[in-house]
Each structure stands twice: as structure tokens, then as C-alpha cells.
Amino acid sequence: MLRFSQAIVAGVMASTFLFACGDKINPKGDQPTDSAVAGSTGFDGGGGGTDGPVTYTQAIKPILDKYCTGCHSPALAIPPALDTYNDAKANASAAHDAIEAGTMPPSGKAPTAAETQALQDWITQGTPQ
């Protein structure tokens, strides 16, 4: 009986992990256009690079909050945490690689090409705050 209970708990935890991010990432379900993202984050949104440095505060934190921190935060204990500058900086390349590979986010609401490029530019520029 104990093994059956453990299997149920494991199944519930796996289901929660796979499906929890979908509604928490963007509860309103709105998807800003690249131009809307560009206006709020400081990158051009057209895939042609940036018009200045891509900073964590202006560009990266809003992207991570939109797609990642609904699951990757200390409160939910799904490593790695991505909710602070230091955590984002330490895990920037891994986060970018997971987005590029299509393994994250699991909700199916993937970052736009401009958002992915902003993350890459931020890494290339040395992860400025």
C-alpha cells in the first residue's frame, strides 16, 4: 500500500510540474507583439540586434517573469531559480539553451524571436544589470 501511495504522489508531482507553468506564466493569456516588447524592454524587437545594451532590469527580468519564474523560483523549488539578477546571471546560458532547444517553457508559450535574441544579446554583452 505504501508503494501505491508513493506512486500516486509521484504522479501528482510530475503532473504539477508539467502543467503548472502554463497558467502562472501569463494568467491573462495575452501575448505582446515584438514591437510592444521592444518598447518596454529596450531592444528593437525586429531581430536586428539592439539599439543599446540589453540590461537585466529593463529587458531580461520581464522576459523571465513572463515565461520562467512562475516555476523557477525558490518558493516552488524547481531549480534553477531565475527570479533574481544573480540567479539569472548564473543560469543565463542554460536558460537560453533550454529555450533554443524548445524544452522550456513546457507550457507551449515560447518566447518570441526578439525575446530570445534579447537574452542572447544580454549574455554576449556580459549580463549587465
Mean pLDDT over 105-125 rounds to: 94
Q: What is the C-alpha separation between 10 and 63, in angstroms, rounded? A: 30
Q: How confident is the model at residue 52 (pLDDT cuts 50, 70, 90)?
A: confident
Stretch (H or E) spanning 117: helix 113-124
**Quick check: is 61 in a domain?**
yes
The domain of 61 spans 2-124
What is the number of domains present in the chain?
A: 1
Mean pLDDT of the chain, nearest integer = 72
CA distances from 78 to 1, 16, 129 (A): 28, 11, 24
Q: What is the C-alpha separation between 92 and 73, in angstroms, rounded? A: 15
What does pTM read for this prediction?
A: 0.63
**Quick check: is 129 in a domain?**
no
Q: How many helices (H) and strands (E) does the chain have?
A: 6, 0
Cis peptide before 74 (omega within 30 of 0): no
**Quick check: is 28 in a domain?**
yes
Strand segments, DSSP code E, in the chain are none
Selected residue with higher pLDDT from 85 and 30? 85
**Quick check: is 39 in a domain?**
yes
